[in-house]
Chains A and B, each alone.
Chain A
Amino acid sequence: MSARRIVVTSGKGGVGKTTTTANLGAALALRGKRVVLVDADIGLRNLDLVLGLEKRIVFDLVEVVEGRCQLRQALIKDKRFGELLSILPAAQTRDKTAVTENQFATVIDELAELCDYVIIDCPAGIEHGFRNAVAGAREAIVVTTPEVSAIRDADRVIGKLNERGLPIRLIVNRIRPDMVRSGDMLSVEDVCEILSAELLGIVPDDEDVIDTTNRGEPIALKADSRLAAIYEKIARRLEGEIVPFTVLGAPTFLSRLLGRKAG
């Protein structure tokens, strides 16, 4: 038995890699899959915060690599998901060169024996941290926002992933349908055409994400939220189901008046 190993990457920072990793992991765990999320952002870790697990960190990835603890000791179980979701946190006070690509890949191989999905949260950029995060992966999810700079960076990253022969799927994050309609934002079609990658998901910009992220509660856990439904669909697509894409309606006049966005 060996898990799927997926790196979540983007090139540009702040487009939602960590949020995507956490929510996709949560959605898969809610579907009964055993998932380990790995924070590859040594020195600038955040996956622990987004899941609200920061106070429970004892050991980290670097300590595993250096043999200071067992892999299982460093894994933190997210109790909201029973036994299904764990994270392997990054070290905060070290830097990315503390781990080599081979060491990183070895840890991912070991994790792959323990679960169904290993999802790696890649740091921004294309430096050493990126090379580590990609080293252990067999598939890639590229997250981008509909902005020229994010797309340019995604394009550069896709080139690098192609060199390694990793299959790539795309999540277009933080779409604002009203801005697409007014011509102020690129559409999902535009983005997919520029990047010519297979689409895995479309996630609208939702102000609740800021709040849930700050509080360490992934929005995928809010059963009644629009984004939970969207992440569930992404999880199903990842598992091979054919799921139609959500058509994002632009906010109506009334919902805009009330400061809300319609689904």
Chain B
Amino acid sequence: MHPSTELRAGYLEEDPLPAAPPAPQRRGRCIVVTSGKGGVGKTTTTANVGVALAAGGARVVLVDADVGLRNLDIVLGLEARVRHHVLDVLEGQAELDDALVSDKRVSGLKLLAASQTREKDDVDTPAFRGLIDQLRERFDYVLIDCPAGIEKGFQNAIAGADEAIIVCTPEVSAVRDADRVVGLLGERVKVTLIVNRLRPALVRRGKMLSVEDVNAILRLPLLGVIADEPGVIVSTNKGEPIALDVASPTGQAYRKIAGRIVGTETSAPEIPREATFFGKLFGGQR
């Protein structure tokens, strides 16, 4: 895009004195799921929050911004159905509708996959932002799965978002990286926190940071806390997000997180409890 066009588009969008009355259809919300550090659960969070939002009746599209290292399709079990990806759409090789993959289990949930054989530098940031704007006209929620790091892929992923969910595990290195990312997001973006992979037993024994420890440094509104449990690894490998399992405590936790995003859930996030003796015996939650 020519720089002047980009500037003009930006100006129009942020024009404080709109001539026309507000459009009847509200634009969807765009939330980027990010962390700085890799492997803390961004993709798992994106998939599960997406499933939970859609299960609540919202129209949701999940966008994989990890060009070259995509994984959201696997976590959702949709890898065999991906025919076109973000770059195909941006480069006019495919129509947006042909690139959106419908989830098999939850109606209202779509995936826009990343390209696996391309590079993040191939993505034109303003064009990506334009695509996100287009999606916001059609969906209630656009969730963007951000790649690890703070390079070009991160810049692309945050370009169209005005909200961010920071995913952080109770580890010093994850907290440090998350803090750096919060700084980079700046004042423009509304930021909330999910503390992921908490092991209550380790916290009690003083061998893991507590949610309070994490948030003493980050100081963010807490959206939810997710326990570390083997069930998440299993569901991820199987491509069945655990949020589909309403009976599981983790599935419930994701439903509540979705409720807090929508505004229907007013309870404060619960800290996962230690498994009981019997729960441990039968291989339940840690």
A, B assembled together: yes
Which A residues lie at the B interface, using CB under 8 A? 11-15, 18, 43-44, 46, 49-50, 92, 95-96, 123-129, 147-150, 152-153, 156, 176, 179, 184-186, 207-208, 210-211, 213-214, 256-257, 259
Asked if A184 contacts B234 (CB within 8 A), the reply is: yes
Tell me which of B10-18, B66-74, B246-254 binds A. B66-74
Which B residues lie at the A interface, using CB under 8 A? 36-40, 43, 68-69, 71, 74-75, 116, 119-121, 147-153, 169, 171-173, 176-177, 180, 199, 201-202, 207-209, 230, 233-234, 236-237, 280-281
- A152 and B236 CA atoms in complex are apart in Å by 13
Asked if A213 contacts B39 (CB within 8 A), the reply is: no
Asked if A125 contacts B69 (CB within 8 A), the reply is: yes
Q: Find chain A residues with CB under 8 A from B69 CB.
A: 11-12, 125-126, 152-153, 156
Q: Find chain A residues with CB under 8 A from B209 CB.
A: 214
Chain B residue at minimum C-beta to C-beta distance from A92: B180
Asked if A127 contacts B176 (CB within 8 A), the reply is: no
Given A44-B36, A185-B233, also A149-B74 (CB < 8 A) = yes
Asked if B230 contacts A49 (CB within 8 A), the reply is: no
Asked if A148 contacts B151 (CB within 8 A), the reply is: no
Given A13-B149, A123-B149, also A257-B281 (CB < 8 A) = yes
Q: Find chain B residues with CB under 8 A from A129 CB.
A: 149, 151
Q: Find chain A residues with CB under 8 A from B68 CB.
A: 125-126, 156
Q: Find chain B residues with CB under 8 A from A153 CB.
A: 69, 71
Asked if B176 contacts A179 (CB within 8 A), the reply is: no
Asked if B177 contacts A14 (CB within 8 A), the reply is: no
Which single member of A44, A92, A149, A210 contacts B149 (CB below 8 Å)? A44
Asked if B280 contacts A96 (CB within 8 A), the reply is: no
Given A44-B36, A156-B116, A207-B199, also A149-B153 (CB < 8 A) = no
Asked if B37 contacts A44 (CB within 8 A), the reply is: yes
- A147 and B39 CA atoms in complex are apart in Å by 11
Asked if B148 contacts A124 (CB within 8 A), the reply is: yes
- A13 and B280 CA atoms in complex are apart in Å by 30
Given A15-B39, A148-B237, A156-B116, also A43-B180 (CB < 8 A) = yes
Given A125-B147, A125-B148, also A14-B39 (CB < 8 A) = yes
Q: Find chain B residues with CB under 8 A from A44 CB.
A: 36-37, 149-150, 176-177, 180
Which single member of A13, A147, A257 contacts B233 (CB below 8 Å)? A147
Asked if B149 contacts A125 (CB within 8 A), the reply is: yes
Asked if A49 contacts B150 (CB within 8 A), the reply is: no
Chain B residue at minimum C-beta to C-beta distance from A125: B149
Asked if B74 contacts A152 (CB within 8 A), the reply is: yes
- Give the 10 A-B CB pairs with smallest separation, nearest first: A13-B38, A14-B39, A13-B148, A124-B38, A124-B148, A149-B71, A46-B173, A211-B207, A127-B151, A13-B39
